[in-house]
Amino acid sequence: MKKQRKSTNRKAKRASAVASTQSASGADMDRRGMFRLIRNVAIGAAVLGGTGYVFADNVMTTMHEHDLERVGNGVSTIVQIHDPQCSMCLALQRETRKALDMLEGQEIDYVVANIRTQKGREFANRYGAQHVTLLLFDEAGDLQDIVQGQQGSYQLKVAFERLLAG
């Protein structure tokens, strides 16, 4: 008759070995574990800080862009009468920004009058403007031109250059 080998439970031995090493080092963290913790905290802080900065910058830019008090502040100003849920308004906003980017070195303010807010609605009513409209103001805040409907960026650039010229 063959001799039978005794069964060794490898999993149990391995688990007890891991448990004994964890109990020995579980109470106090070793140097490598401390550096790992510091690294993870630093990465988390950098990610949260970067996200916070981007969010705050976005909010500040939006607030500045919606400030209707900037009309007549000594700089030519373009005011878009804008409905954020209107696809044509969003397309006009994109084209306006492209046209403004083409005006290199020339100072012109871009302001958005959101007709979903009371201030934006009052501003639009004061000039009798509907959405998908650009109001072009000179440095003194006097209305010089009204651009209605969807326009391409090159057409808008020409209108903006006329505003700046005179």
- CATH H-level, domain 69-165: superfamily: Glutaredoxin (3.40.30.10)
What pLDDT does residue 13 have?
A: 66
Instruction: Calculate mean pLDDT across residues 85-91.
Output: 90
What pLDDT does residue 1 have?
A: 63
What pLDDT does residue 22 have?
A: 55
Instruction: Kindly indicate the confidence band of residue 134, based on its pLDDT and cuts at 50, 70 and 90.
Output: very high
Cα(51)–Cα(154) distance, integer angstroms: 35
Mean pLDDT of the chain: 83
Domain boundaries, the chain: 11-64, 69-165
| Confidence check: pLDDT of 91 > 50 | yes
Cα(162)–Cα(94) distance, integer angstroms: 20
Render pLDDT for 26-43 as a digit per residue (tens, 0 to 9). Answer: 546 788 888 999 999 999
Instruction: Calculate mean pLDDT across residues 53-67.
Output: 73
| Confidence check: pLDDT of 95 > 60 | yes
| Confidence check: pLDDT of 83 > 60 | yes
DSSP letter string, 100-125: HHHSTT---EEEEEETTSHHHHHHHH
| Confidence check: pLDDT of 126 > 70 | yes
Instruction: Give the number of other Cβ atoms within 10 Å of residue 46's Cβ.
Output: 10
| Confidence check: pLDDT of 144 > 70 | yes
Longest dimension (CA), the chain: 113
What pLDDT does residue 106 have?
A: 81
Radius of gyration of the chain from its Cα atoms, rounded to whole angstroms: 32
- Which structure tokens are listed for 45? 């802080």
One-letter identity of residue 119: K
Render pLDDT for 98-118 as a digit per residue (tens, 0 to 9). Answer: 998 888 878 888 899 989 889
